[in-house]
């Protein structure tokens, strides 16, 4: 059963044309993350939501935005994609171990990723 | 800030060879440690984790890892690899009161049949 779903799996866009990637989860986890992963590199955290609270990494460009309308869904908006933004974008979820919620382990569950190509 | 080092970037083995992938971290306080695996064309998934207790942790598919606090290490081992172990392996560390992991850059393992 799919637990973290990302759509689309492949996205092709033109330079400067806005794009939105989506992520949904069936785990009821309170934390959702967006990572950028380039070939042979570690996933780079862009931002995350802790419940409704948005947490941006200091080095995430303003070009990247996110929305979390409810617990299950999270979106990544790239306002003006550049060639350097071509990458795999990973969504992940976790349940904070400190929250006292059942099943909280901080283990991250990843989606399959969306591969973004910028022409 | 926490940093995680995986010194072996590319490892090539023959089937039945033994495997050890290194992982070292910098933060000296309380840590939670993870190994994630990414098989070709698949998503990242948990291989094993350490929170507390026995420093020798056993995971799926015959993998194990040992937490050595004095060496700031959490090396991954498997006594006999299989072709199906070909994948990218990532070590990740959560430090102190955080819930966000710091990932190493990954090790690409290729196992020849």
pLDDT in tens, A9-57: 999 999 999 999 999 999 999 999 999 999 878 899 999 999 999 999 9
Quick check: B77 contacting A, CB < 8 Å?
no
Mean pLDDT of chain A: 91
Proportion of chain A in helix, strand, coil states, percent, rounded to 5: 5, 50, 45
Quick check: A23 contacting B, CB < 8 Å?
no
* Nearest-10 Cα torsion for A105, B3, A44, B52: -10
- What average pLDDT does range B35-53 have in this prediction? 92
Q: Residue A72: what pLDDT?
A: 96
Quick check: B81 contacting A, CB < 8 Å?
no
DSSP three-state, residue A94? strand
Partner residue opposite A94 with nearest CB, options B97, B99, B104: B99
> What DSSP line would sit under A13-25, residue for residue?
E-TT--EEEEEEE
Q: Reply yes or no on whether the pLDDT at A103 is more than 60.
A: no
- A114/A76 Cα distance (integer angstroms): 11
Q: Residue A102: what pLDDT?
A: 53
Alpha helices, DSSP H only, in A31-114? none
Phi, psi of B23 (to 5 degrees): -145, 125
């Amino acid at each position: 059963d799919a637990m973290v779903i990302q759509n689309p799996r492949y996205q092709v866009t033109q330079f400067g044309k806005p794009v939105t990637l989506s992520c949904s989860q069936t785990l009821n986890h309170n934390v959702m993350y967006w990572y950028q992963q380039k070939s042979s590199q570690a996933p780079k955290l862009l931002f995350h939501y802790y419940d409704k609270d948005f947490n941006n990494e200091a080095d995430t460009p303003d070009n990247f935005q996110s929305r979390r309308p409810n617990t299950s869904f999270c979106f990544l908006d790239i306002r003006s994609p550049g060639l350097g933004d071509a990458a795999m974008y990973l969504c992940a979820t976790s349940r904070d171990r400190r929250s006292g919620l059942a099943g909280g382990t901080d283990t991250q569950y990843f989606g399959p990723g969306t591969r973004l190509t910028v022409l | 800030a926490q940093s995680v080092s995986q010194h072996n970037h590319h490892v090539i083995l023959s089937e039945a060879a033994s495997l050890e992938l290194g992982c070292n971290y910098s933060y000296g306080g309380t840590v939670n440690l993870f190994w994630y695996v990414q098989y070709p064309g698949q998503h990242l998934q948990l291989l094993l984790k350490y929170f507390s207790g026995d420093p020798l942790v056993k995971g799926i598919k015959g993998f194990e890892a040992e937490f050595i606090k004095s060496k700031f290490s959490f090396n991954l081992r498997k006594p006999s690899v299989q072709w199906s172990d070909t994948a990218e392996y990532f070590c990740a560390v959560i430090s102190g009161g955080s819930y966000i992991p710091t990932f190493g850059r990954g090790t690409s393992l290729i196992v020849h049949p």
